[in-house]
Amino acid sequence: MKVYLRRLKKNRQTFCTIMYHKILNTILNIKKIIALLFFLSCIQPIQAQLFGSRASASAPAMDVETDIEKLCTPATNGRYTGSMGETNAANYIESRFNAIGIKPYQGKYKWDFTCDVGMQLGENAKFEILGKNLKIGNDILFLPYGSGNKISGMCLPRVNEKDNVWLIPLSDTKVIETNDIQKRIYDFAKSSIEGGARAVIFLNDINTDYDLNVHTLRMYDVLTAPVGIINFDTYTKQIQPQKISDWIDVNGTLDFDKGSATGKNIMAYIDNKAALTMVIGTHYDHLGNTFTGADKGASGVAAMLQIAESIKKNRLSNYNYLFVAFSGHEQNLAGSKAFFNQYKSATNSIAGFIELDMLGRLNSSKELLINGAGTSPSWIPTLQTLNKGYKLLLDSSGVGFSEFTNFYYKNIPSIRISTGYHTDFNKQTDVPQKIMYTGLKDIINYVYTLIADMDTKSKPVFTKTNDYLIKLQNIETDLGIIPDNTYENNGIRVGACLPYKAAEKAGIVPGDIIAKIGSYIIVDMYDYIEAITKSDKGKETVIIIKRDKNEFKFFVTL
């Protein structure tokens, strides 16, 4: 019996030992499984970031705020084509592509082109008043919308004789009542020339804050006589002390001629050794001076940079990818026209063009404007399939007021994606503080998803569209609006009013519906073109506008 008990005790100890080790091994295995699961959960986001699925991969962590703010600083000074501000903006965009790790196209980021920037003085230009030669560009500035060769007359300030030089104290223009000094000066000069002035010379009798800078002069419609402004110090030290009581002899030789500037396109390239290239672009230039262009220009650049980073990280490879920041937008799209001389492959190697422009003002209705939607039968179904709750406003025409037009003219499927025009369009109030950053980031993700989806498919087929805007652009008489071509009811809806043009001056605003021009009832664009064509330039015309549920009558001089 004792022997049996000893064996039982020994067997129980052995059993316990075996069970102990089994339980211990099980616990260790569970820990390994937990550790493995934890490891996999950690590595999965990294794999998704590095090798993520093409259409579902999201854009990188956003820093669009920094990009927009950097492009709107005093150093870029409105990014006017050919200016130091444009160069500083170009340098910043180049540095961003370099930081992302996208190489320059054909060995360089910056590609120069030449464009017309308005009227400029001849090399031997000179100006004399009260027997003193004033230094042009320092003592006196001649404004780029003036024209003509000679300034000659005997005159007095505020004595405005027809066919003579008009000397106008700047205080008489009430320029202190506006935040747009240059526009007030232009309007006053235009009115003076229409009143008979052979030349207009403004005298800055206010203070140095109203001196103009040669590097920030803006271009308007060319006038038929020279326009200059004598700065405050020159006026107060050389002219005002003369106690003028007799006629002043004014003489000048200007030799005005069309001027040119060197603009810069910036190009970065992902070379996947593919047969075809997808081009993604935006313009970065703007109006110069204090026009920051946060939405117009900067928002498109910020979006393009983020999308470029996503394409590189997610290794989209069915196409090569060329990213272009165009300059010369304000000079009749000069940069995108020059692009086709800078692009070193055949035009038919471009699979498609996607333009990003004015993406920073997504409204509560989430309206997204797509220009060029009819340039390929694949655009609309793809955009709708991938739609993330946007109200897509589809304009089928390949011709518009932006860079996508020049690609369309080369038979390339081309779209422009935008949140549309707004009341700050081409104004100094288009500032970074008004950008809807959450909406902008969502749009960036949407556009990236579109590009990733296209990367899995063959080249889009090109389709010609109804290009009636060409006729509109060739009309001599101008109301000064950009039509909203997505509007499908009777009338023409105003997408934007161009600053300082007839429609804005009359009080017409974006969203208004033009129902009648003179005796012409407006149903569609063809009616609008006919009415504008047959309206007399310079003659007051009655325009009937529908605004909400009300109808208004405007008197407009076209």
Closest CA to 363 of 248, 543, 510: 510
Lowest mean pLDDT among 163-177, 298-312, 469-483: 469-483
Work out the average pLDDT over 446-475.
88
Work out the average pLDDT over 437-448.
97
DSSP strand E in 300-356: where?
320-326, 350-356
Task: Tell me the CB-side half-sphere exposure of residue 507, using CA atoms within 13 A.
Answer: 10
Work out the average pLDDT over 447-465.
97
Contacts of 100 (CB under 8 A, 6+ apart): 305, 308, 309, 312
381 CB burial (10 A radius; 0-12, 13-18, 19+)? exposed
Lowest mean pLDDT among 41-45, 213-217, 448-452: 41-45
CA distance 312 to 270: 8
Given the structure tokens 């009819």, which residue do they identify?
A: 374
pLDDT at res. 58: 46
Contacts for 186-191: CB closer than 8 Å, 24+ residues apart: 186/143, 186/145, 186/220, 186/227, 186/500, 187/500, 189/143, 189/146, 189/223, 189/227, 190/223
451 pLDDT higher than 50? yes
DSSP strand E in 193-319: where?
197-203, 227-230, 248-253, 257-270, 277-283
5 pLDDT higher than 60? no
17 pLDDT higher than 80? no
pLDDT at res. 550: 92
501-518 per-position pLDDT tens digit: 788 878 899 899 999 999
Closest CA to 507 of 448, 402, 407, 423: 423
pLDDT at res. 535: 85
Beta bridge partners of 118: 259
Tokens read off for 13: 């100890």
495 pLDDT higher than 80? yes
pLDDT at res. 505: 79
pLDDT band at residue 452 using 50, 70 and 90 as cut-offs? very high
361-381 per-position pLDDT tens digit: 999 999 999 999 999 999 999
pLDDT at res. 96: 97
Mean model confidence pLDDT for the chain:
86
359 pLDDT higher than 80? yes
CA distance 270 to 15: 67
212 pLDDT higher than 90? no
Q: What is the pTM of this model?
A: 0.70
Contacts of 169 (CB under 8 A, 6+ apart): 157, 158, 202, 203, 205
Higher model confidence: residue 325 or residue 116? 325
Q: Determine the number of helices (DSSP H) and then strands (DSSP E) in the chain.
A: 13, 23
CA distance 474 to 172: 37
Higher model confidence: residue 473 or residue 79? 79
321 pLDDT higher than 90? yes
138-184 per-position pLDDT tens digit: 899 999 888 888 999 999 999 999 999 999 999 999 988 887 788 89
Closest CA to 306 of 342, 359, 351: 359
Q: Determine phi and psi for 13, rounding to 5 degrees.
A: -65, -45
CA distance 334 to 500: 23
Work out the average pLDDT over 406-410.
97
pLDDT at res. 39: 43
Work out the average pLDDT over 260-271.
95
pLDDT band at residue 245 using 50, 70 and 90 as cut-offs? low
Task: Tell me the CB-side half-sphere exposure of residue 317, using CA atoms within 13 A.
Answer: 8
pLDDT at res. 258: 72
pLDDT at res. 244: 66
Closest CA to 313 of 44, 45, 60: 60
Lowest mean pLDDT among 15-24, 295-304, 336-345, 376-385: 15-24
pLDDT at res. 221: 86
Helix 437-454 to helix 64-71 angle (10° resolution) is 110
CA distance 147 to 228: 11
CA distance 6 to 119: 116
Rg of the chain's alpha carbons, rounded to an integer?
32
DSSP of 167-191, one letter per residue? EEEGGGGTGGG-S-HHHHHHHHHHH
pLDDT at res. 165: 96
pLDDT at res. 8: 42
pLDDT at res. 69: 97
